[in-house]
Every structure is written in structure tokens, then in C-alpha cells.
Amino acid sequence: MKNKQVILYFFILTLSIFSYSCKEKVNTPTPEPETPKSFTCSLTNIDGILKAPYREIKLNPVIRLSFTDKIDTNTLAIGINFLDDKSAKVPYTYSLVEADTVLEIRPTTLKTFAKYTICLIYKLQSKSAVAMQSNMCYAFTTQLDTTDKFPRVSDDELLDIVQRRTFKYFWDYGHPVSGMSRERNSSGDLVTSGGTGFGIMAMVVASSRNYISRNEAANKLDVMLDFMTNKCQKFHGAFPHWLNGATGVAIPFSSKDNGADLVETSYLMQGLLTARQYFDGNSNLESRIRNKINALYQGVEWNWFRKSNEQVLYWHWSANLGWAMNMKISGWNECLITYIMAASSPTDSIPASVYHAGWARNGGFKNGVNYYGFKLPLGPSNGGPLFFSHYSFLGINPNQLKDQYADYWEQNLNHTLINYTHCVVNPKKHYGYSNQCWGLTASDNNFSGYAAHEPNNDLGVISPTAALSAMPYTPENSMRALKFFYYKLGDRMFKEQGFVDAINLNDQWFANSYLAIDQGPIIVMIENYRTGLCWNLFMSCPEVKTGMKKCGFSSPFLN
């Protein structure tokens, strides 16, 4: 009996312990595992700048990156990409502050005015082994080096340096067979008729300034004229836009533009007539030059390009496609010289009615609106690209030039001032625009390859030819731009054949190209500002005086 009581006692005790244990397990919840902290970064600042865009950064900046947790420094090498604009790694030192949650990076080899990017990628981890949730990148640009890149010289010496160097494009880089001007510095055998006209005027300037001798210039031009006369493919006397500089065969500018280009032809004739007036000597060489130029000019069938006697000139004609381009030459744009050349022809002159109805559209090209406080007599809103006031006026002198539609000095001056003021006001907030970095015109760019830049199509691209070729109109503004381009950016802009075609300081982009139609106006218009040489020569042509008077122009230079 006693043994049974003992057994019962232990049974009850065991059951009580088991019941208590079960009760404890039910009433005490199992603790959940700790959720890892998120691991993200917020850029505190770069060199003290708190938000993008990060520009004008010093060459020894402190880049401060703030994280939500402590940083595992063992993952820095694989978790941070610090790259330059060529995707090369940038060396740096670092330190951790604020309980290892803030990373301070100090790059050691930055270059001036260059773009850098810091990317934090998913391999970067916290000490809790939590990785970045998403990649994060921060870009910045170092400050521009504003020290002078070349020794200071007088304004006259600077203009001479620029003209002489720019002339090398036409003299050293002219096609070795034809002597004609390559379209651009990468064109090979492709030469351009209009750019050659600009180059011939540049050669006249170079001869007058003794960069080359008069005899050297005359012999080079004689070779070019032989090629134009005997080799170049022509269409009713008009030249194509592009040709092969070795064979003279037309090269299509576009699928339907494979024949005559009357506008480019007029640029060529403007240059040839200027040269004819310059080479006025009695030698057999200079006499031969004048005769060849007369034959080429008189051989253009200007009237034929009215397409069945319409009251307008047409830009293109193709031997196999006819008038497929169907582009009328109507103003206001760069083509005034085409109508002047056509009206001035001694063999196939257009009547004045074609100038008024076709080019002037009976006054339909008038504007009269004020932009930035400057009244624009003719043309599109805000004036369009600045080559409108350059190409035709390499030879045509706009000083005191008027007709029933406009005062052409006012037109070109105000067009330039609108373009200049737009860049100073800078409504699109492009980096670098200022009263010393301005000028919008057609040129290469880093977006589409080439575009007609202007206030209504402002992509942030500054073209040196725009401000420099405006020297006769806005000498102070143009000289200020020239000094900035040369002294401050000259190590990147001023090369073997003059200023590169364009820059975009937004993107730290500097073109590596030169274009004949941009280099030529720089030389010629600077010379027109300095001496009026090309204006005086072209306006002395008897045919030009007759043609311009016929169209209703008045100027003391037509007397």
C-alpha cells in the first residue's frame, strides 16, 4: 500500500511539471529574427555643392557620401566605380566619419574642365552584410582653367594670328589635284564648290597680307581654274555642291541632289569675281586667270534655273531626276548672292521681276518685329542662324546698302545683336554662355552631327565662326569672344588649321572638325572689318554694279 502511494505521488508530480512546461511554451512567443536595416546612400555634397548640377568643382574636392548604415570597407573596391569621361578608373583616398556611416572621398588626379562619375553599385555592402538596393550615380564637372593659354598680344596681332592659321585649312589642306577646298578635314577626295569660293577669297586675303606671295596665289588659282573648266562636271553651267577633287565628277549631296546646285555655284562665282578684280596685272598668268573666270561666270545659265520662265529661281536640277528637289530660292536666308549673281550676268541675266517676286516674295520676307529690343527688318523670328548675315556678304558690302525692303546694315547688325543677346540672356540656361562665349550658326554638334543652330534651335552649341565672322557688325563683342576662345580655351579650340568647328560647354565637348564654309568666312569677314578688301574688290565688278542697280539697290559703293 505504501509503495502504491509513492508511485502515485511521483506520477502527479511529473504530470504537474509537464503541464507547467507546456503552459510556459504556449504563453511565451518565439522571438522573430531581426529585420536587416536598409542600406542606401544620399549624396551629402561635392566640394560643398549640395545638389546637381555639380559644376566648377575644384581639382581637389571632397565628395561626401552619407549612408543609412555602417559601411563595410572591404566592399569599397568592388562597390564603387569612380570613372573619367573615357571610362578610366580615377584613383582616390577615403576616410570614414560619423560612426562609419559617412564616406569622404578625395580624388587625386583630376583634370580641368572634365566630366567624372561616381557610381555606387549593388556590390557595396553595410557591415550588416546588406547590399545597396539600387545603383546610384553622381556626375560632376571640374572647373575651367581660366589662365591664358597663349601669350597676350595686341588686337591687330591676334587677328593676324587667327587669319594666318585659319588659312592653312585652304592652303595646306586643299585637294592635291584640283586645289579645290575639301568639305571638311576628313573629306578625302570630296571637295565643295561653295567652300572653294570662300577659299578663293581667303587666298586673296592671304596674298594681300603676304602669307603667300601673289605669284603663288595666282599659280594655285590657275590650276584650280583649269580643273573647273576642263574636269568639273557642270549642269547648264552650274556646279554641283560636291565633287570628286581628283576626277571632277559630281558626288550626290543627297539622293535627289546629284546635279546642279545654283546657290553653291553663286558662292563660287562670288569668290571668282573677287579674285578676278584682285589679279588685275598685265602678266600672261593674271590675264589668263581673268579670262577663265569670265568664261566660267558667263557660262552659267541663270535664266534656265527659273524652270520654264517662272518668276523665281530653283536651287537644284539633276540630269536624271530633273526638278525633283523642287526647292525655290526664296528669302530671307543665305541666298541673296544667288539673285545678285543671276541679275548681274552679262550673258544670261534674270529680269528684276524675278528678284522681287521670287527672292523678296513682293515683300513677303519682311519681319519688322523687335527681339531683345532690336528690330529685325527681314527674315524668320529671332533672325535664324548667323550665316544668313555672312555668306552673301563676304562680297556684298552691306554698309549703306538699301532697297525698297530694308537697310541691309541694320538687318545684319540687328540680326547679330539678337543672336548675341540671346546667348547673354541664355533662356535655356546653357552652361558657359556669356558676353564672351556666344554665337549660334550652322555647324557640327555632339547630338545630330550637324545642325543650323539659332535662338529657335539652341542646343547649347557655340560655333566660333558665328561671332568671329560678325566682326564687321559687332567688333567689340566679336573681339571679346575671340579673346576668350583663344586665350582661355585655346588649348582645346585653336589647332593647326584655326578654331575647331564648334564647342558645347554643357557636355565638355570640343569638335575635332573644320569645315570650309565655316573657316572661310572667318578669314574674309575679319579682313572686311580690317580693310574692307573683299567688299571693295567684289563691289568694283561692273557687272555687279549693273545687276544690283537693276534690282533697285542703292549704295555709294555702286557709283
CA angle, 510 then 515 then 517, to 5°: 130
504 has pLDDT over 50:
yes
Q: Are 502 and 443 in contact (CB under 8 A)?
A: yes
3 has pLDDT over 70:
no
Q: What is the pTM of this model?
A: 0.91
Residue 27 is predicted with a pLDDT of 53
Q: Which pLDDT band holds residue 524 (cuts at 50, 70, 90)? A: very high
41-142 fold:
Immunoglobulin-like (2.60.40)
For the chain, residues classed under CATH 2.60.40.3710 are 41-142
Q: Are 442 and 389 in contact (CB under 8 A)?
A: no
pLDDT digits (tens, 9 = 90+) for 202-232: 999 999 999 999 999 999 999 999 999 999 9
240 has pLDDT over 90:
yes
Assigned C-alpha cell, 16: 504537474
Residue 28 is predicted with a pLDDT of 54
Which long-range contacts does 244-248 make (Cβ < 8 Å, 24+ apart)?
244/189, 244/190, 244/191, 245/175, 245/177, 245/178, 245/180, 245/182, 245/189, 245/190, 245/191, 246/175, 246/177, 246/178, 246/189, 247/189, 248/178
Q: What is the DSSP letter of 200?
A: H
- Cα torsion through 86, 91, 95, 96, rounded to 10: 40
Architecture of the domain spanning 155-558: Alpha/alpha barrel (1.50)
Residue 29 is predicted with a pLDDT of 59
Mean pLDDT of the chain: 94
Residue 42 is predicted with a pLDDT of 85
- Rounded average pLDDT over 495-522: 97
Assigned C-alpha cell, 122: 549593388
pLDDT digits (tens, 9 = 90+) for 110-129: 999 999 999 999 899 999 99
Alpha helices in 345-407 (DSSP H): 352-354
For the chain, residues classed under CATH 1.50.10.140 are 155-558
Q: Is the dihedral of CA 437, 442, 443, 448 positive or negative?
A: positive
Burial classification of residue 308, based on how many CB atoms lie within 10 Å of its CB (0-12 exposed, 13-18 middle, 19 or more buried): exposed
Distance CA(43)–CA(135), nearest Å, equals 13
| 473: nearest Cα among 540, 521, 432 | 521
| 547: nearest Cα among 535, 557, 558, 536 | 558
Burial classification of residue 208, based on how many CB atoms lie within 10 Å of its CB (0-12 exposed, 13-18 middle, 19 or more buried): middle
Q: What are phi and psi of 170, to 5 degrees?
A: -85, -35
Q: Which pLDDT band holds residue 133 (cuts at 50, 70, 90)? A: confident
Residue 467 is predicted with a pLDDT of 98
Residue 487 is predicted with a pLDDT of 98
Residue 73 is predicted with a pLDDT of 92
Distance CA(389)–CA(331), nearest Å, equals 12
Those residues whose C-beta lies under 8 Å from the C-beta of residue 66, and which sit 6 or more positions away, are 41, 42, 43, 44, 98, 101, 102
| 505: nearest Cα among 521, 520, 518, 488 | 488
Distance CA(520)–CA(469), nearest Å, equals 9
Which residue would you say has higher pLDDT here, 444 or 108? 444
Residue 231 is predicted with a pLDDT of 98
- Rounded average pLDDT over 396-416: 98
142 has pLDDT over 90:
yes
Q: What is the DSSP letter of 396?
A: S
**How long, in residues, is the chain?**
559
Residues facing 442 on adjacent strands: 452
Q: What are phi and psi of 65, to 5 degrees?
A: -115, 120
